[in-house]
């Protein structure tokens, strides 16, 4: 178990409480963003504190950050969690010290952005973090409770000076808005509870749209059928597309941009091919199918290198993760004892079929493979260079 340790109040209380519980394999990690002049001082404080608590500590420095479309804070958060995940697996857990006041801030920020239930649910107590898990065991406790614990146990924590910079939205809420809400309403626990209700609503919507997805999946792997999408009312269509994008780890576009794109899709004008791009990704229509991808992948058109498959090698792992098994090559009409090569389309290829040799481009068009995906389709070639099989997507092993 690894604790994200900034040295602040919340992570100090979390580390101390976890160590007192005697959790086996406990370690702390401090990620130095190298964004402030006091970064080395903060790291030194973390080392002293962890040593005093009796817990091992790793300190990791980040490379210079490249701001994302949604800001430097988002870039820092993504880089920090990437470091926290290093060396951990699917059964491991990262613990972070966010508390109920943080939850209230996150809820308010989402509300001010006009978010729906997915955003208004704020932070989940437990969720997947790439290949591992992220837990927030203090999420139900207000900051005042943590401060009482720290005072009772004689704990010292690092006061990050950047937390007082009200140029950042979260700090503005923390310094200027939440104190007024506490004074007027006696606390902000209601905001955290509201986030919990939104989490229930988000889970119910996921279940609903998972069922809708079964009806809307197109014949091409990962695509949505535009005919089904056009049959839905606008609100359901928006919800389904948002769900579909999140299933691909894509943050959906804003409400207005998504609504305008789906309005164009619903119009179904002959010859029109609506498409949309936003900070995180893109969507395009092709042959009555809706496709999506990450923005960074859109400019990555590098063709994977050829892979030799010697006759004495029983299996081969493709660039897309599929495994080819020689015992199954006979099902494709391919000699299982032949020396083969896996290559990719460069243009002009022809493939032997029962109807004779046909252009690979034509076969891809007939299967509805979008132009921007065609260079990713693996091809099996024999020693003379002839294509003996096309490994179409949507297959778990050797294709046809």
In tens, the pLDDT along 270-302 reads 777 889 999 889 999 988 889 998 876 444 556
DSSP structure class, residue 142: -
Averaged pLDDT for residues 347-358:
84
Coil/strand/helix, residue 223: coil
Strand partners for 32: 61
pTM: 0.74
The backbone region for 321, taken as left when phi is positive above 0, alpha when psi lies in -120 to 50, beta otherwise, is left
Instruction: Report pLDDT digits (tens) over 147-195.
Output: 999 999 999 999 888 888 888 899 999 999 999 999 999 888 899 999 9
Q: Do 84 and 162 contact (CB within 8 A), yes or no? A: no
What pLDDT does residue 180 have?
94
Report all structural domains of the chain as residue ranges with CATH numbers, in order of start.
Answer: 2-191 (3.40.50.620), 217-298 (1.20.59.20), 307-390 (no CATH)
- Averaged pLDDT of the chain: 88
Residue 386 has pLDDT above 80, yes or no: yes
Residue 197 has pLDDT above 90, yes or no: yes
What pLDDT does residue 399 have?
38
Instruction: Report pLDDT digits (tens) over 199-244.
Output: 999 999 999 999 999 889 877 778 999 999 999 999 999 999 999 9
**Strands 378-381, 340-344: parallel, antiparallel or unpaired by DSSP?**
antiparallel
Averaged pLDDT for residues 343-367:
86
Q: Residue 25's pLDDT band (boundaries 50, 70, 90)?
A: confident
C-alpha 283/C-alpha 371 separation (Å) is 14
| Torsion angle, alpha carbons of 178, 182, 185, 186, to 10 | 150
């Amino acid at each position: 178990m690894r604790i994200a340790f900034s040295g602040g109040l919340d992570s100090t209380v979390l580390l101390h409480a976890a160590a007192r519980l005697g959790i086996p394999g406990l370690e702390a990690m401090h990620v130095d963003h190298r964004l402030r002049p006091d970064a080395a001082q903060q790291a030194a404080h973390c080392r002293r504190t962890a040593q005093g608590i009796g817990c091992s500590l790793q300190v990791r420095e980040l490379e210079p950050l490249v701001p994302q479309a949604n800001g430097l804070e988002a870039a820092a958060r993504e880089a920090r969690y990437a470091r926290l995940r290093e060396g951990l697996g699917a059964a491991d857990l990262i613990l972070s010290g966010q508390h109920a006041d943080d939850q209230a801030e996150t809820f308010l920020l989402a509300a001010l952005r006009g978010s729906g239930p997915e955003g208004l649910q704020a932070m989940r107590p437990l969720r997947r973090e790439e290949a591992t898990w992220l837990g927030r065991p203090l999420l139900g406790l207000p900051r005042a409770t943590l401060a009482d614990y720290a005072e009772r146990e004689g704990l010292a924590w690092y006061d990050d000076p950047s937390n007082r910079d009200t140029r950042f939205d979260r700090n503005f809420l923390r310094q200027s808005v939440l104190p007024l809400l506490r004074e007027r309403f006696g606390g902000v626990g209601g905001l955290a509870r509201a986030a919990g209700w939104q989490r229930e609503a988000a889970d119910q919507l996921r279940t609903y749209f998972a069922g809708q997805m079964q009806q809307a999946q197109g014949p091409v792997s990962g695509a949505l059928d535009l005919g089904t999408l056009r049959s839905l009312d606008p609100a359901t269509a928006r919800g389904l597309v948002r769900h579909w994008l999140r299933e691909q780890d894509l943050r959906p576009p804003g409400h207005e941009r998504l609504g305008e794109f789906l309005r164009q899709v619903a119009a179904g004008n002959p010859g029109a091919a609506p498409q949309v791009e936003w900070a995180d990704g893109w969507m395009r229509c092709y042959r009555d199918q809706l496709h999506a991808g990450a923005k960074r992948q859109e400019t990555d058109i590098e063709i994977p290198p050829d892979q030799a498959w010697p006759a004495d090698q029983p299996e081969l792992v493709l660039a897309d993760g599929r495994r080819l098994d020689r015992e199954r090559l006979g099902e494709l009409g391919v000699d299982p004892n032949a020396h083969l090569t896996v290559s990719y389309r460069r243009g002009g290829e022809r493939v032997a079929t029962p109807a004779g040799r046909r252009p690979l481009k034509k076969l891809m068009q007939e299967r509805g493979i979008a132009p921007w995906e065609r260079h990713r389709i693996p091809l099996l070639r024999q020693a003379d260079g002839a294509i003996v099989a096309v490994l179409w997507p949507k297959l778990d092993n050797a294709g046809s």
